Structure formats: C-alpha cells, structure tokens
Structure 1
Amino acid sequence: MKARSLILGLLFAIIVLGGGGLWLLLMHPVPAWEPRALPAETREQPLLLAERFLAANGARPRQVNELAPAAMALQEVDVLVLPWRSRNTTKADQQALQDWVARGGVLLTSAGEIDYDDDEQVVDHRSDDPLLHLLDLQHHAGSLPPEGDGKQASDYYRTVQLPGLSHAVQFEGRGLAQLQAGQIRPAWTDDSGALLLGYRHGRGWIVIASETDQLLTNWNLADADHAELLWAISRLNTAEPRVWLVRTQDTLPWYELLWQKLPYPLLGTLLALLLWLWRAGSRFGPLLPEMAAARRAILEHIDASARWLWQHDRGREHLLATVRSALRERIANRLPELSRLPDAELVRLLALRYDISAVALEQALTGRAPKHPAQFTNRIALLQSLRNRL
C-alpha cells in the first residue's frame, strides 16, 4: 500500500507540475517586437532628427531640398551639411563653394559613390571631381570587414578627436569604403585614417566622410556618438552656427538654371523667334487659288488595281477566278446541258467542239494561277476567247 500510495503521489505531483508549467508557457505574456512603419515626415525628411537635435543644442539649423538656395545665402561662418554630393555640378559652382569655405565656412560632405571599371578596379574621380582634386583624395579598394567575420560589434566603431573636444567620439564604420589621402595631408582623421578626414582650407574646414548618410540620417543619428560628432563639427568655427542641411545637391531645374546663367541670349532668341513668326504670318497680296487636282482616266485606275492584284498570290487567283466565273456563266446561258457536267467531261467536250488543247483548257479552267506573266496572260486569253466563241 505504501509503495502504491507513493507512486500515485508522484504521478499526481508530476501532473500538477506539468500542468502548471504548460499554463505558464502558454498563458504567461512574452514581449515581442512588432515592426512599425516610420512616420511620413521622417521618411520624407531624412535629416529631420539632425535638424531638431541641432536646434535643441543652440544651433540655428535650416533644412532645404536643394543646394542652390543654400549656396546663394551662405555666410562666412555658416555650416553646410551635404550628405549626398553630386559630381555633376558646374566648375563655377564648385569653385564658389570652395571660395566660401576659404572665407570661414565649414563643409561636411561625402566623397561620393565608389565606382568600379570593367576590370573591377576602383575608379579615380580626382580628374572629374573638383573637391577630390582639391584635396588629392580618392577611394581605396579596401573596406572594413563585413559583418559576420567573427568580430565583436565594438570592433567596427572608429574614434576621432576633433578640435575643441577634450575627448574622442565614436562612429560606426561598418561596411564603409575607405579613403586614401594623397600629397595633401588632413589636419585630423579618425583612428583608421580612412573614413573621416578634416582638411583646413583657408579659414574654413572641409570635413569629408566616406558616406555621411550613414552618420547623419534619421536611422543612424542615434548610433554611437553620431549626434555629438555632428554637434562638434558644426562648432569648428563658431559657437552659435547657422547650419544648412541639404537633402540633395540637385541644382535648379534646367530652365531656371539656363535663365540664371544666360538671360540675355535667351531674350535675344525669343525676340528672333517672335520676329520670324511675325514674318512667316504676313503675306503680300491675295491668296492664289488652289490648283485643281489632276484627273486620271478610268483605265489607269483599272491598270493600277490589276497590277496591285497581280503582285499577290490571292490577287492572281481572284483575277483568274473572275474570268472563269464569266465563262461558266456564259456556258450556263448558251449551253445549259454542259454546265452540269464534271470539269473533266466539260473540258473534253469543249476541246473537241472548239478545237482547243484539252491540257491548256484544263489548266486554265481548274489549275492554280501561275506566277509567270506570260503563262497567266495565255490562260486569261484562252478563257476570254472561248467565252467570245460561245
């Protein structure tokens, strides 16, 4: 009895513990991550958090869609943040931007996209990029190791000591293409010397990064010390900067840019066009009457239609079928006793009665339309002459 009671007690305990564990497993609330769509404002303005962060820390930020409005309003100690830099701007605009930096401005931008040639070698853009040419800077073929190579997440962070800061700041350099400085050495760089470089240009600064969009956009600004890095760069020349955040370097629309660069030639072209329209629209004397269209004989139309039909297989069959139909209709009217005969018997009797070759008559009456002009003409003539003799 004691053993039986012990076994029953153990079974009961197992059932209770198992049921309790199952209840906890199924009923206990477990937090789960649910993806949320970003607000439309955040998606449309990738530098929105940077603008709000700078405004909250004493700067005067302004976010603009294009470079042109900011470039026309830049002052000497302003800061221009240009994450997406284009190489397609004119040399004059590039030179104006460099002159503004030399007067005391701070430019934070990227080196542009890395390109490869047909041999998978990195393209050197110093020849077609005025900024890279000025700094003697190019992309390097190497890059930081990709994620998943056995390194810790902290191994991908890089540090940089900026002027005016007592401590170094960190930024994430995972997957960023490296830059290679030439004869012109930067005033400061990150600890790798290849991802973030600061150049002194006149009284201003040019801070160039491998990819600034991975440091300053809404999705990356909160990582590492990216926000503090932006704050420190904006204060390289003044404690209360006015910061221009440019979402793209697209210039003005082509028609506005053309009007801005060439107003007088455009006005001259427009005036010449108006004079030409006025000259083309004026006439001297009354209008001449329209000449009557040349008329053609009916035979010309018939000949043209026949030629067109002759050039197609179905057209030749149609012409031959028309003559055959006319012959059979004449036979039905003049010799009704022959119209009900089979084609072979009809051909034999007609050949005997009118002294015609039976083979030629059979081909003309039942054969396919030949492609050779002479053969086609002979068959038409044979059928037409036989019709006239009936």
Structure 2
Amino acid sequence: MTRRTLWLIGALLVALLSALSIYLYLKAQPYQEVVDHGPSPAAQANPYLAAEMFLRGQNINVAHAESLSVLPDIDPRQHTLLLFNDRSKMSPRQVDQVLNWARAGGRLVFVAESLWDEKTAQSNDLLLDRVQLQQFMSKDLKDPPAATGEDPYPNLTKLYLEDEDAPAYAGFDPAFHLHDPENLAQAWANSANATHMMQLAYGLGSITVVTDAELWKTPAIAEHDNAWLLWYLTADTDVTLLFNTEHDGLATLLWRNFPQAIVALFALIGLWLWHVGVRHGPVQAPAPSSRRQLMEHLRASADFILRHNGQQTLLQALQQDVLRRARRRHPGFEQLNVAEQWLVLSRLTRQPTRAISQALSPAPKKHLSSAEFCRQVAHLQTLRNAL
C-alpha cells in the first residue's frame, strides 16, 4: 500500500468523523430530568419534619422530644406541647404532671388514642378520661348529627372562625368522633357526621383534643388547610413536639449485623443443653472395685502384647531396659564392646558373666516353651532390679 493510498484513507476517515459529529450536534438536544430519590433520612426518621419546618417558617421556635422527661424544664407560659406520641404506657403520675403543666398556663394538644368502653365506663387513654371527653367510631353513633344543606366536602373537618365567611378545612380521619358528655368544650370542629377536634379551657391554659394527627405528617400537611390549623393552634407560642422516633431494637440490629454469630451462639447453647440434659436409657452401674487393681491391668497389657507381637518383643523390651539402666550407672557403657559390657554388668549386678550373656543374647526366632520364656524373663528382671 502506497503512501498516497494511506493519505486518502486517512482523509476519508476524518471526513466521515466530521460528518458524524456535525449530524449529532444538529440532532442532539439538551434536556433536564428530575430524579426522585424519595424522602431524606431526616424525613424518614421524623414524620413531622415538614410540620416543624413550616412552623419555623412562621417564626415559631420548635423543639421535639421523645419522652416527658423534658417537661419540668419547659415554662408553660406562652408554650404549646404537642403530644403526638404513643401514650399507652403513660402512668397516672405522668398524666398529673401534664395536666398541672397545662393548668399553669400551657397549651396542650394531644391525640385521643382509645375508644370509650360503655361497660367499664372508661377508655385505655388515662389523659382523655381525665379531661372527661370520649371517643367513638363514627359508624357506631346511634344518632349522628344531620348534615345541613348540601355539603360539598362531607369528609373534611370544618372550623368556623369569627368574621370569616368560609370555614377552614382540615383532613382529619372521618372514622372517629369526639363526644363531650359534660359540655366542657368551648370550641370544636366537625365533618358532616362527626366531631374531630374539641378545645376547652383548663386553669390558666387550654387543652385541645383531636382524633388523629396524621394530617400533620408528610405529605398530608400540604393538603387543604392542615398546615394553617397547626399554626392556628400554636400561634404566638414556642412549641415542643413530643413523639416517638422509631428505632430498630437491639435484637434487630444484632441479627442484621451479626447473623452468623447469633446462629453459632444458639448452636452452642443447644449443644450445651444437650450435654447437660438427662440421658435416656438405663443407668450403667459402676464397675466393682475388685476390677480396678493395677496388677490386673499390667497382666492384661502384657498378655495383649504377647498375643499380637510375640515373645521376642517382650524380651527385647526387657533387654533394652537393662542396657538403658546400665548406661545410666556406667558412663561410656555404650562405647564398650559386648564382652566388656558383660563384664561391667557382672560387676554392677554381681551376676556371673554366663548368666548375663544368656539373658542379653538375641531372642531366638523359634517359639520358646512357657518354662523357658519365664526363665528368660526372670533373668532379665533380676538384672534390671540389680541396676
């Protein structure tokens, strides 16, 4: 391929790339896309975060807490306490503490949590019982209030104010109804067939009871006049919002982060219980003490070796033991020849050389008689005991 051909191919490639770039430039159009990543971690941890931000935007100081332990530090004057948490474990002492705080001039807003029980003449909500209000299911009302005229929004709660032609609309759950048997309430708000908010004076302060607080969570607070109603109940005061932040329990966290360790722990516990558990079957009787003599064990061991390894193994073991003791008694014994070793052993054991040579001679491969085997063993034991 000539140089001119290479130049032509290169020029053609450049022209094609340039044409493609111009085409893409003319056809490509920029655009913007919004990606919804869902609520932030702060919003997930605090369902009333939007409510807090809205109130702060109205120049209201807002703090939130998770227990009533902060109540002694809150000045009731010009302060609103919003009890939106679970109060099923609220003690009578805590109820007195909250009501005394409201009586001293605080504004208290709380959610009625339990239904009135006609049989026991009480509900499971101590705070609701103390303010003498009752909560029922709207569908269970015997004589529901009749709707006047055509109501375009029967499920919305309407709050009428003085000097206002139209009511404010709030999105309370229409399934619940508040009842005031003692006619203590000074203001209230109704939907078409039920009452969802009542307000009454309490000492120097006031108490507002609502059927639910879901309308002030994200994103419901942006609907209807829900945000305005929250501002109306807390206007010109500082606010403390009390609710339970949901946290994973210790067991959940341990299982999420250490599942293998937990499985291993339960396995060890199971094995330990199996180990200490009662065994099934008859209990084995202890062996009689007469079968626990050392001599019997030694004889049984020797008989086992004799049956499996033969006479030579036992004789060689005794001979090695004799020589080992001789090396300990006479340094350099292993460097002597056999005759000299026999002389040393004769001097140490005071046995004739002939007896020593017979005892330490290599064991014959043929099978010895019982008498001859016992005699050979006796000679070796005599030598060993003399050393």
TM-score range (shorter-chain normalised) is 0.3 to 0.5
> Which structure has the greater CA radius of gyration?
2
Instruction: Give the alignment's TM-score, normalised by structure 1.
Output: 0.47
Instruction: Give the alignment's TM-score, normalised by structure 2.
Output: 0.47
